[in-house]
Copies of this chain bind each other. A is one copy, B any other.
Amino acid sequence: MRVVKSVAAMQRLAKRWQRTGVRVGFVPTMGYLHAGHLSLVQRARRLVGKSGKVAVSIYVNPTQFGPKEDFSRYPRDFTRDAKLCRDAGVDVIFAPSNEDMYARNKEGQFSTYVTEEQLSRGMEGASRPTHFRGVTTVVAKLFNIVQPSVAVFGAKDYQQAAVVKRMVRDLNFPIKIEVAPIFRETDGLAMSSRNKYLAGDLRRQAVVLSRAIERVQAAVRENSRPLQSARLRADLKKFIEREPAARLDYVEFFDPQTLAPVTKVSRGVHIALAVFIGKTRLIDNRRL
């Protein structure tokens, strides 16, 4: 396994891959890898085959964090990540520096952004106003640097995957986007690098996100008629905030293709929610 730290070196390697016609599967991450990430790596390997290359980027991208968010304390452990990648059969880790990714030179500082203006408005986009601009910009950069044939994203960030797919369609990136299912702990908590923040009893309370989804799923399946989103939302807020450290940020019911909110909730509708457990903001989602 090779570790590439500079943008220029990664682009040279990508160019060589292009010329030999090798298929490249790409998994962009912010590092602090868990089993969910590794399932994306396995999916990438299946997609490109033994003769293909699997590249993982490890980069905590500053532009997708808000000024009051956890950029500086986001967990990092490159040594551990590198070992996990090697064991998972990754060919290349791309781990650039902020200076290289957001370079300024004599002509001036970084000033180009990619924005998606429709799917990125609600939910995470409403709670974190500059988040998706940071995501689409860095993903466009990473795509141009790694030049993969296929990139794999996790379904835990459902809206992010939708926004990235839309960007790829609109800007004609010659890249296939695959979305792999959420990986969960045995008690149902969706895997996330941020779960590391959950000290003591907070870890137990965090299960309330998946429990809340299961509660709606049961209600939807028990009723032959659609349920009102407003009533479900009120019920879920009460259910979630019974946990002493839990505060609901949002819960949304929406069309899984367009992300358009729906008021009548039935099978096939998608649910997504964000909940603060103490100071840690967690998200989860599922098709009902």
Question: A interface vs B, CB < 8 Å?
Answer: 7, 11, 14-15, 18-19, 21, 103, 105-119, 136-137, 140-141, 144-145, 147, 166-167, 169-174, 257-258
Central interface residue in A119, A136, A171, by most chain B CB within 10 Å? A171
Chain B residues whose C-beta falls within 8 Å of the C-beta of A7 in the assembled complex: 172
A172 to B147, CA, bound (A): 11
Name, among A14, A108, A167, the residue most crowded by chain B CB atoms within 10 Å (CB to CB): A108
- Determine if A166 and B111 form an interchain contact, defined as CB atoms under 8 angstroms apart: yes
Q: List the B side residues contacting A170 at CB < 8 Å.
A: 110-112, 141
Q: Which 5 A-B pairs have the closest CB atoms?
A: A112-B170, A111-B118, A144-B172, A19-B21, A112-B167
Nearest CB in chain B: distance from A28 CB, A:
14
By the criterion CB–CB under 8 Å, are B166 and A145 in contact? no
**Nearest Cβ in chain B — how far from A228, in angstroms?**
25
A140 pairs with B174, CB closer than 8 A: no
Chain B residues whose C-beta falls within 8 Å of the C-beta of A258 in the assembled complex? 107-108
| Contact, CB under 8 Å: A114 / B113 | yes
State whether A116 touches B111 (Cβ < 8 A): yes
CB distance from A238 to the nearest CB of B (A): 34
Q: Are A112 and B114 closer than 8 Å at their CB atoms?
A: yes
| CB-contact partner of A115 in B107, B113, B171, under 8 A | B113
- With both beta carbons as reference points, the residue of chain B lying nearest to A11 in the complex is identified as B174
Q: In the complex, A171 Cα to B171 Cα: how many Å? A: 13
Is the CB–CB distance between A112 and B117 below 8 Å?
A: yes
Neighbouring B residues of A116 by C-beta, 8 Å: 111-112
Do B257 and A106 have beta carbons less than 8 Å apart?
A: yes
